[in-house]
Chain A
Amino acid sequence: MTPHLRHLAKAVSLAALCAAVPFAAMAAGEVTFIQPVEPTGLDPSEDSPVAAGQVTWQNVFEGLVTIDRNAEIQPQLAESWDISDDGLTYTFHLRPNVTYHNGAAFDANVAKFSLDKLIGPDSTNGQKALYAAIASVEVADDMTLVVTLSQPNSDLLYWMGFPAAVMVEPTSAATNATAPVGTGPFKVDEWRKGDRVIMSAYDGYWGGRPELDTVTARFIADPQAQVAALKSGQAQVIAELGAPELFEQFTSDAKFTAHAGAGEMEVVAGMNNTRPPFDDPRVRQALMMSIERSALVDVVTSGYGTPIGSHFSPASPFYEDLTGTYSYDPEAAKALLADAGYADGFTFTFSVPNRTYAQRSAEIMQAFFQQIGVTANIEITDFPAAWVTQVMTGRDYDMTIIGHAEPLDINIYARHPYYFNYENPDFDATIAAIAAATTPEARAEGYKTAQEIIATDVPALFLYSNPKLGVWDAGLQGVWENGPVPSNDMTDVRWAN
């Protein structure tokens, strides 16, 4: 070796040694959580409400009300509220002494600004439709906000607790996407795009200083890489592990808490209800009976998911177990198909988004369909871009499969247009009745009926509800076990001593 090369070799090995310094363990008061998708902006009232909410909802931004870990509505920036007997007027009594991270005070004018922005004509809030019942927002006094509806909507208070309806302040609203300013326990210090968002405790928080000093959100899409980051101590929480087969190893590891919680996502195979043969309910029912959902769950979610028979998941307070409506019975399915005029089966195109759960489910369903003589040609579509354009908005498909993550979203079957192309006046009337319900009992009854109607009519094949497979450091307390709203609420998280 020449002196030059020897020098180079020395330098390289020295550098390698320097790099091999083991990682400093996370200091107390710091937590890093992993989520698969990086938000397109950090303001959940404007950008990608799910991914943005998973970083900033509750941590940075708060609403008039909030949804707690048990899916219950709780007061937040509104201490209390009154609803008029006709269900048309909501009077919110706001919490005093609340400040934003930039020092601005929260009051009824700020709240009015937020809601007007949400429902206004220039709104780019993807969930705007949920708040369509709001007719006007008025300031009664500094601490009192009056919201008037054009028609009763018993779900509205629940939607008000959503990431999409967080309270933003006028002077920072335009820059919240990159430099969010909220009223929450943590303020955003830095967003390293493509990598992480770093947040730290806000001293002026109305609820008192949070337990943690620093909270970091890291964006890692690959489940294997998520696991590697957790095991090497670079992160402490995976709120939703994307690969169920990697979950098992944590259940017996004392260093971690592994919890298969109830998730909000229902995986359904939607059919184009106006396109033959799916316009015949008997065909849809036969397809439903051809699938053994428990076997599907075993393969797709390593058995952690729950088979469903209608659109709600067991995480919903209104969940009804309707898996028995059309349980697995391939012989009955064949008979029903013959009855509908398809004794020899048929062939269709199955437009499957390029997501692991969807592709796996589709392959298993293809095998089940084959047993009753139905051939599904799987066609993989790029999600979200191509899928949203072709299936969701274009409604040009036979059958597709997707997870619906929004809570209380059974009303999608009453939306016209929506990708199912499903028309059922009885169902529409039921959804209208739920909105107009003035008692909790009437509302619950409405949701029960709605689930039963679609369980029988099968506008989509109801497959399973996705578990929320959470893994976190065993020393952490207060992490949400269930996921009534997609979020990583770190408000109550702390290290046990």
Chain B
Amino acid sequence: MPRLLRILKQAAGLALVLGISSFVIFALIEAAPGDAATIMLGTNAAPDTLAALRAELGLDRSFLVRYVEWLLGLLRGDLGMSYIYKTPVADLIGERLMVTLPLAVLATALSLAIALPLGVWAANRPSGPVDTVASLFSQVGIAVPNFWIGLLLILGVALGLGLFSTGGFPGWSAGIGPAFSALILPAVALAIPQSAVLTRVTRASVIEVINEDFVRTARAKGLSRTRALWRHAVPNAMLPVVTMLGLQIPFLISGAVLVENVFTLPGLGTLAYQSLSQRDLIVVQNVILLFALIVLVANAVVDALYAVIDPRLKGRT
């Protein structure tokens, strides 16, 4: 199939999935009882005040009108106005991405920094002491939820040792140091379960590759064991690791919702949670759609990476 056609087909598929997601998201939130006006006015509001506010927010219009308006806005690149904050949703999301994106990148970098050396090392000497530690780490890491790790880190590292921030985000304007300090513990909390899975996958994959002919050939040509391992075995063992990294993106997002709440970080996860409980419908719709988009794009990127890592897979989709 010509390359352009394939890309177009993929893009159309993406648009279709996003379109369906948008409707499902809109309908589900619409079905939940209560609306933004009810929450904004509190428990003492008179019915006519409520009606006035609903009219002001445009909530008195029908479900379909609001849905279509949202879609048309999206096509123009206009995400709408938050009912609650009275601020453009795009601005809100932009602000929050400044926290969540660095957090996710940091967490992924940390988890790779732990998982790759640990997994490879463990594979190099199966049943050795490092392998035992790695296996214990991956079992505990997978079993313990990230928000719980977050709480432990707050109690132990932040309050106990007085290191790093316990919560909140000083803003990037406060400088790299304080901003990083606020992100490091949540990133660790997110990274531990992720690296536990990656360690296990790396180990298994390297063990599989290490006994293949090409590694033996490399050794026979005089390469040291370590060099043969890193130069030939590890790159060829990366395919399952990349797959797993891609698969973990949804977990990273859902983890971020919990971890951001534990650390009171004003990120995308907190925004999603907060706007859902405040029925700030328009914000929830956009944030969840963005999550869906991230997952879909991540999958596409992983697919593309396959071809780079293993040229044998090129053209197969």
A residues contacting B by CB (< 8 A) are 1-2, 5, 8-9, 12, 15-16, 18-23, 38, 40-41, 47-50, 121-129, 177-178, 192-196, 218-222, 224-225, 228-229, 231-232, 234, 382, 384-390, 392-393, 402, 406
Asked if B43 is at the interface of the complex by the 8 Å CB criterion, the answer is yes
For chain B, residues 166 to 181, give those with C-beta under 8 angstroms from any C-beta of chain A. Answer: 166-169, 171, 176-178, 180-181
User: Residue on A with the closest CB to B116?
Assistant: A5
**Structural contact, B87 and A178, CB atoms closer than 8 A:** yes
User: Residue on B with the closest CB to A402?
Assistant: B43
Give Cα A159–Cα B171 distance, bound, in whole angstroms: 39
**Structural contact, B44 and A222, CB atoms closer than 8 A:** no
Q: Which residues of B contact A388 (CB under 8 A)?
A: 34, 38-39, 43
Q: Which residues of A contact B271 (CB under 8 A)?
A: 194
Q: Which residues of B contact A49 (CB under 8 A)?
A: 42
**Structural contact, A229 and B38, CB atoms closer than 8 A:** no
User: Residue on B with the closest CB to A392?
Assistant: B43
Can you identify 11 A-B contacts, CB atoms within 8 angstroms? A15-B180, A20-B163, A41-B84, A126-B40, A127-B44, A128-B45, A128-B49, A195-B266, A229-B264, A393-B38, A393-B47
User: Residue on A with the closest CB to B234?
Assistant: A2
Closest beta carbon of chain B to A216's beta carbon, Å: 10
Closest beta carbon of chain A to B33's beta carbon, Å: 4
Q: Which residues of B contact A218 (CB under 8 A)?
A: 168
A-B pairs with beta carbons under 8 A, tally: 166
Closest beta carbon of chain A to B285's beta carbon, Å: 16
Query: Among the interface residues A124, A128, A234, which one has the most CB atoms of the partner chain B within 10 A?
Result: A124
Report if A389-B38 is in contact (Cβ < 8 Å); known contacts: A12-B110, A234-B166: yes
**Structural contact, B162 and A123, CB atoms closer than 8 A:** no
Query: What are the nearest 5 A-B pairs in CB distance?
Result: A385-B34, A126-B41, A194-B266, A195-B266, A19-B181
User: Residue on A with the closest CB to B110?
Assistant: A12
**Structural contact, B168 and A20, CB atoms closer than 8 A:** no
User: Residue on B with the closest CB to A125?
Assistant: B49
**Structural contact, B166 and A20, CB atoms closer than 8 A:** no
Report if A220-B39 is in contact (Cβ < 8 Å); known contacts: A19-B164, A21-B177, A126-B49: no
Report if A129-B46 is in contact (Cβ < 8 Å); known contacts: A40-B84, A40-B278, A195-B169: yes
**Structural contact, B109 and A47, CB atoms closer than 8 A:** no
Give Cα A393–Cα B39 distance, bound, in whole angstroms: 12
Report if A126-B113 is in contact (Cβ < 8 Å); known contacts: A193-B85, A229-B166: no
Give Cα A229–Cα B117 distance, bound, in whole angstroms: 35
Asked if B200 is at the interface of the complex by the 8 Å CB criterion, the answer is no
Give Cα A41–Cα B83 distance, bound, in whole angstroms: 10
Number of interface residues of B (CB under 8 A): 63
Asked if B92 is at the interface of the complex by the 8 Å CB criterion, the answer is yes
Asked if B86 is at the interface of the complex by the 8 Å CB criterion, the answer is yes
Query: Which residue in B113, B159, B279 is a CB contact (below 8 Å) of A231?
Result: B159
Asked if B158 is at the interface of the complex by the 8 Å CB criterion, the answer is yes
Closest beta carbon of chain B to A228's beta carbon, Å: 4
One digit per residue, 1 when the CB lies within 8 angstroms of any chain A CB and 0 when it does not, for chain B 35-76 equals 110111111111111001100100000000000000000000
Asked if B253 is at the interface of the complex by the 8 Å CB criterion, the answer is no
B residues contacting A by CB (< 8 A) are 32-36, 38-49, 52-53, 56, 84-87, 92, 95-96, 109-110, 113, 116-117, 151, 154, 158-159, 162-169, 171, 176-178, 180-181, 184, 230, 261-264, 266, 270-271, 274, 277-279
Q: Which residues of A contact B261 (CB under 8 A)?
A: 222
Report if A406-B168 is in contact (Cβ < 8 Å); known contacts: A21-B177, A222-B264: no
Closest beta carbon of chain A to B230's beta carbon, Å: 5
Give Cα A390–Cα B264 distance, bound, in whole angstroms: 30
Query: Which residue in B40, B84, B87, B117 is a CB contact (below 8 Å) of A1?
Result: B117
Give Cα A178–Cα B56 distance, bound, in whole angstroms: 16
Give Cα A9–Cα B34 distance, bound, in whole angstroms: 50
Q: Which residues of B contact A386 (CB under 8 A)?
A: 32-34
Give Cα A236–Cα B30 distance, bound, in whole angstroms: 40
Give Cα A19–Cα B166 distance, bound, in whole angstroms: 12
Q: Which residues of B contact A50 (CB under 8 A)?
A: 42
Closest beta carbon of chain A to B157's beta carbon, Å: 10
Q: Which residues of A contact B159 (CB under 8 A)?
A: 228, 231-232
Query: Which residue in A8, A41, A193, A222 is a CB contact (below 8 Å) of B92?
Result: A193
User: Residue on A with the closest CB to B45?
Assistant: A126
**Structural contact, A385 and B168, CB atoms closer than 8 A:** no
**Structural contact, A47 and B40, CB atoms closer than 8 A:** yes
**Structural contact, A194 and B96, CB atoms closer than 8 A:** yes
Report if A177-B86 is in contact (Cβ < 8 Å); known contacts: A8-B113, A48-B42: yes
Report if A16-B117 is in contact (Cβ < 8 Å); known contacts: A48-B41, A49-B42, A222-B261: no
Closest beta carbon of chain B to A19's beta carbon, Å: 4
Given contacts A18-B176, A385-B32, 18 further A-B contacts (CB under 8 A): A8-B113, A15-B180, A21-B177, A22-B162, A121-B52, A122-B52, A178-B86, A193-B87, A195-B169, A195-B264, A222-B261, A224-B151, A225-B263, A228-B159, A232-B159, A382-B33, A386-B33, A389-B33
